[in-house]
Every structure is written in structure tokens, then in C-alpha cells.
Structure 1
Amino acid sequence: MDENVSLARLAHRLEEVVGELRGIPVGVERLEDGELILQQIAHAMDTSDEVRAMYPAGTPEVGRRGRRNMPEFLDALRRGMRARLIVHTSMMDDPVSTARIREMHAGGTLYRITDEPVQQLLVFDRSVAFLRITPVAHAPGALLIRQQSLIAAFVDLFEKTWARSREATEPAYRLTPREREVLALIAEGRSNSAVARALSVTEAAVGKHVASVFAKLELPHTEDDNRRVLAVLTYLRGSVR
């Protein structure tokens, strides 16, 4: 079974259990107030030595709301907290989120890019985790988890996803799966029309993908260079996976 599907089901079941037990201490607490969640996260940052984080597509906390916790996060990095971050590829198309991620990276955060669907998750040390209640973008609320067996499962999930993710230093880390697919076909020597036939899309759509590839690989139009060839060379060097 897909690990992300399992995590989504686990989040749903946790919500049910918390509702059923109605306050009985089980190491899982439901938080619905956004300000309280930010306060709890800030406290965890102040007292932890390590954080693992995953952010799915369309996560506002990294960009717009994330600036609320940015001072505390940067302070934690300066005092020595280690941080690793996995973000969905689509987030790198949002300039606000990209700027925040780069700010965190400049402070010492290691991060990788994934095309896989992931859930929003924060794990501090191996003692406390925050999981979005409903595993969809913009859903309110979170589960604060201190139950050790659950945290161990989250850490294992993070490490396996980290191992499959791409290094953010790769020049083509911002390409979408379809853009990498188009570039792979171009590397086989196919024209835009041939790529369109292979993917069952219009030639105009392929043209838009190619233009996006050039922009993301920072290949400006010049009289001296063939951007199509340069993009293929990037692919053949193994930068695009």
C-alpha cells in the first residue's frame, strides 16, 4: 500500500480516536486554533535539537503564514537546531514559498524536492509531531502527537521519502514530472510535434512545456547558443531525474 495513502488513513483514524476518547490522555491532542498551533510549533522549535518537515503542494504555511514562525526558526538554527525539509515540486513555482525556503536554506536547513504526494508533517526530535488533521491543502487544524510509536512511524516515513527525493542543488529541481518527460523525449531527438504525438497532447502544449523548461534551467535566448541542445545536455549530465 502507498505510504502516503497509509498516512492519510492514519490521520483520519487518529481524528476519530481523539473524538471518541474525549480528553482521555492518549498522547494525541487535536488543535483547531491557528494561533495556538503556531505557538506550540514555536515552543517546539525553542526546545528541540532536530526537526524533520514535509510540505505538500499548496501549503501556505511555508510562504505566507510561515513568516510568522520564521524568526523563531532562524533563531533555533543559529543555536544549533538541525533541520531537514521535503517540499513538493509545485511549491517551487510559488515565489513567496521559494523565498522562504531559500531563507531557511541560507540559515542551514537541508531540503529536497519530491514529486510524490506528501502530507504536511513536522517532527521535532523524536518527542513531538504536528500532522495536519485533514490531509488536503488549506485544511485547518492539526494533531499534536507525543505517542512514541506513532512518532517512530512518522520518522521512518520521512527518512524513506527523503531517500527518494531529489537534491535541491540540482539545476533542474524545479521541473515538473511532465516537463522532465518532455525533456527526456527531446533528448531522444524528437521534434515538438513528435513529442506531442508521444504524449497525446497538442504541439502548442509541448511548446509551453519547452518554454518553461528553458526558463527554469535559466537558458536565455541568444544568437550563439541553442537552448534546446543546452537543455538536453543538462538532461544527459544526469541533473534531471
Structure 2
Amino acid sequence: MDENVSLARLTHRLEEVVSELRGVPVDVERLTDGELILRQVAHALGTSDELRAMYPTGTPEVGRRGSKNMPDLLDALRRGMRVRLITHASMLDDPVKAGRLREMHAAGALCRVTDEPIQQLLVFDRSVAFLRMTPVDHAPGALLIRQQSLIAAFVDLFELTWAGSREATEPAYRLTPREHEVLALIAEGRSNSAVARALSITEAAVGKHVAGVFAKLGLPTTEDDNRRVLAVLAYLRGSVQ
């Protein structure tokens, strides 16, 4: 379907919702307490069967470990929650965030990425939604929405964005131009010192670029695997961007 037609239909749908809500009490709650928002999200994660989520940048808050107060999306996935997640493509530039996406995918989440601007949104079971109060990354506050017409419109927005996004089940690893050059030379069988001479940079700089490549490819130090070989194989398979 033509994208302009889809957007026109979505715009018309939103206009219908606004018209329907004129004069009708809207079940929308403004939340400014961060801890309260976390508790509300944690409750939804523990009781819902389905989640549609969009994240503009950064590691998804509902999917981050390391805080005793932070609800963990992985726990919800393990208990069987169906999850579809759309993130901005810039998240793949960070090896930690890209690794988190791979971890969630391995646990059962369906993940896609988009280059278009998106707003942070969580929709649980078509019954409750959380929307970032202001369209700025890490801005405090959220809207808790239970009004069904609004939720239906958010679901339409999610589905339209999902249809226009690309699969991230095996996220492409986005290297910097210099990391590409270094990896390409490694693929030719060159040592770090040879790469340094070819690029007119220091060997220490090459080492930093190689470490960055390993991190983005999720290649930890082990006794059993040769990370240079694994990185070259990923490069030759075309799974590195």
C-alpha cells in the first residue's frame, strides 16, 4: 500500500477519534513521579499478555537490568508475554544497546528498527498505554491512557510504523567508517601493525578500533574462539554494516 495513503488513513482515524472524544470524559492520567510510573509499568508487565512498544533512542527502560526498581521485560518474555518492539536504528550504533536487542529477540521478542522519528509508547493488551509526556529522550513524566478510542489510534500508529520498519531479528552491526576500513584489512589477513601502516595511524589506534568491532559484534574473550576469525566471517557474510 502507498505510504501516503496509509498516512492519510491514519490521519483520518485520529481525526475521527478526536471528534468522538469531544465532550466525553477522557481516561488519561498525567504521571510525573518516576517511581510511580515504574510501578504501573511493572504491574502491566506482570499481568498483560501482549505488548507493543516503540523506543526512539536508548535502551528500553522496561527491558533494562541493574536496578532493583526497574521492571524487566525479559522476565515477562519468559512467562510468555508476546512482545513486538520498534526502536530507532541509531540504537544499533551502540554495542550494549544492540546486544540488549539481541538478548530480547533470543527471549522471544519480535524486533524491528526504523530510521524515522518515533515517540516512546507502550501499549499493553489494547487496554492501557503509556506515552512519554514530551517527545524528548529521557524527559520525565508519562501519560497513562485507558481511553479505548485513543488506544485504538495508538495501535493503528504502531501497526503503520511496524509495516514500514525493517526486521532486526539479526541486527546489522553498524560500524564506523574507520572500523570498516580496519576490518576490511583484517579480512585480507593483515596484522594490527600492517593495518596501522596501511591507514597511517598508530597501532594503538588500530587496537581500539578492533576492540570496538569485537564489542559491536558481541564477541567476548574466550579460550575457545578466535575473535578475529569470527569478525572476518561476519564481514564476509555481509552481516556487518
The alignment's TM-score, normalised by the length of structure 2, stands at 0.61
Secondary structure of the 1:155 match is helix
Taking the aligned partners of 1:104 and 1:221, their CA distance within structure 2 comes to 26
Residue type matched to 1:86 in 2? I
Q: Shift of residue 221 of structure 1?
A: 8.3
Contact 1:50–1:83 (8 Å) recurs in 2: yes
Partner of 1:158: 158
Moved more, 59-68 or 136-145: 59-68
Which has the greater radius of gyration? 2
Verify the 8 A CA contact 1:132 1:142 in the aligned structure 2. yes
Contact 2:55–2:120 (CA<8 Å) still a contact in 1? yes
Assess if the C-alpha contact under 8 Å between 1:129 and 1:145 holds in 2: yes
Match of 2:85 in 1: 85
Change (3 A) 1:96 1:137: same
Q: Distance in 2 between matches of 1:121 and 1:105?
A: 19
Contact 2:55 2:119 (8 Å CA) reproduced = yes
Q: Is the 8 A contact 2:130 2:142 kept in 1?
A: yes
For residues 66 and 84 of structure 1, the distance between their equivalents in structure 2, rounded to whole angstroms, comes to 23
Q: Which residue in the other structure is 2:71 paired with?
A: 69
Deviation sequence 1:184-240 (CA, Å, 0-9, x none) = xxxxxxxxxxxxxxxxxxxxxxxxxxx9xx88789x989xxxx8xx97x877xxx89
The number of residues matched between the two structures is: 191
The 3-state SS of whatever aligns with 1:162 is helix
**Which residue of 2 is the match for residue 173 of structure 1?**
172
Q: CA deviation at 1:59?
A: 5.5
- Residue pairs, 1:16-95, within 5 angstroms: 26-58=26-58, 61=61, 62-63=63-64, 68-70=70-72, 73-95=73-95
Query: Would the aligned equivalents of 1:112 and 1:162 in 2 still touch at CA under 8 Å?
Result: yes
SS at 2:157's partner residue? helix
Whole-Å Cα distance in 1 between the matches of residues 66 and 161 of structure 2? 25
Q: Secondary structure at the match of 1:86?
A: strand
1:195-210 counterparts in 2 under 5 A? Answer: none
Q: Is the 8 A contact 2:58 2:97 kept in 1?
A: no
Q: Which runs of 5+ in 1 are unaligned?
A: 15-23, 180-210
Cα root mean square deviation, aligned: 4.3
Question: Can you give the 5+ residue segments of structure 2 that lack an aligned partner in the other structure?
Answer: 19-23, 178-209, 220-226
What is the CA deviation profile of residues 48-82 of structure 1, one whole-angstrom value per residue up to 9, with x for unaligned ones?
11000000024562557888211xx3332233210
Using the aligned pairs only, state the percent identity: 66
Equivalent AA in structure 1 for residue 106 of structure 2: A
Match of 1:200 in 2: none
Q: Deviations over 1:22-58 (max 9, x none)?
A: xx96210001111111110011111111000000024
